[in-house]
Amino acid sequence: MSLDRFYPIFDSADWMERLVPLGIKLVQLRIKDVSADVVYSHIDRAKSICAQHDCTLIINDYWQAAIDAGCDYVHLGQEDLDTADITAIRAAGLRLGISTHDKAELKRAMALAPDYIALGPIYPTILKKMKWREQGIAKLTTWRSLIGTTPLVAIGGMSVSRAAGAFEAGADVVAAVTDITLNESPENRVRAWLEATR
């Protein structure tokens, strides 16, 4: 399954219902610090909207909920790998994306034969306090040489204007979060992203 080059990440099904119909074909639901009931509710709504619009849905972190809901993809950070049941994820037929920041994490991730690798933050990001400094665009080229044909996602501080540089450096996919959700017109921003990545 090939991944679309534009990969927005939203923290609710509300965002998906608003923006997926514009032509988004790959999207992640990343919810933090809510009850299981809320997670399942958002996953159900996200699945429904993505099914209507032929959009691939990736669930961040909540691998058991993703299995229960019959989702296609789950994305795990390094901390998530400590507790996730990779065997159960694979047995359920889920595809797997994994976040990486350094070569040790990359080696750990590649040992699991992931369906894509994410590298970030490429640029400084306001989204979360991270122990990792910005990785820089050149590191995408290094990762590209290390992971072969595994799809590579660039994330962190990405914008429409920075997307071309990430693709040139070796990324297959560019992920965006606050560049869309904090924009005064998220709809227009999504349209600009689609234009830049199609």
User: What is the number of domains present in the chain?
Assistant: 1
What's the confidence (pLDDT) of residue 132?
Answer: 64
Helices 160-169, 186-197: axis angle to 10 degrees equals 30
The answer to whether the beta carbons of residues 119 and 139 sit under 8 Å apart is: yes
Domain limits for position 112: 6-197
What's the confidence (pLDDT) of residue 127?
Answer: 60
Report the distance separating Cα 171 and Cα 69, nearest Å: 30
Q: List the pLDDT tens digit at each of the 198 positions of the chain.
A: 689 999 999 999 999 999 999 999 999 999 998 999 999 999 999 999 999 999 999 999 999 999 999 999 999 999 999 999 999 999 999 999 999 999 999 999 999 999 999 999 999 876 656 566 788 999 999 999 999 999 999 999 999 999 999 999 999 999 999 999 999 999 999 999 999 999
DSSP state of 39: H
What's the confidence (pLDDT) of residue 130?
Answer: 59
The Cβ of residue 157 has, within 10 Å, a number of other Cβ atoms equal to 20
Nearest to 84 by CA among 99, 102, 106: 99
Q: What is the pTM of this model?
A: 0.96
What's the confidence (pLDDT) of residue 134?
Answer: 84
The answer to whether the beta carbons of residues 20 and 50 sit under 8 Å apart is: yes
- CA 16, 112, 36, 6: dihedral to nearest 10 degrees? -10
Q: For tokens 């306001």, what's the residue?
A: 126
User: Is residue 123, in this structure, part of any structural domain at all?
Assistant: yes
- The CATH number that applies at residue 126 is 3.20.20.70
User: Is residue 104, in this structure, part of any structural domain at all?
Assistant: yes
User: Is residue 54, in this structure, part of any structural domain at all?
Assistant: yes
Report the distance separating Cα 25 and Cα 27, nearest Å: 7
User: Is residue 101, in this structure, part of any structural domain at all?
Assistant: yes
User: Is residue 179, in this structure, part of any structural domain at all?
Assistant: yes
User: Is residue 142, in this structure, part of any structural domain at all?
Assistant: yes
DSSP state of 177: S
The answer to whether the beta carbons of residues 120 and 99 sit under 8 Å apart is: yes
Q: How far apart are the first and last CA of the chain?
A: 17
User: Is residue 120, in this structure, part of any structural domain at all?
Assistant: yes
Q: Could you give the count of Cα atoms lying within 13 Å of 123 in the half-sphere of its Cβ?
A: 15
What's the confidence (pLDDT) of residue 129?
Answer: 60
Cα dist from 171 to 10, 37, 58, 102, 166, whole Å: 21, 35, 18, 16, 6
User: Is residue 1, in this structure, part of any structural domain at all?
Assistant: no
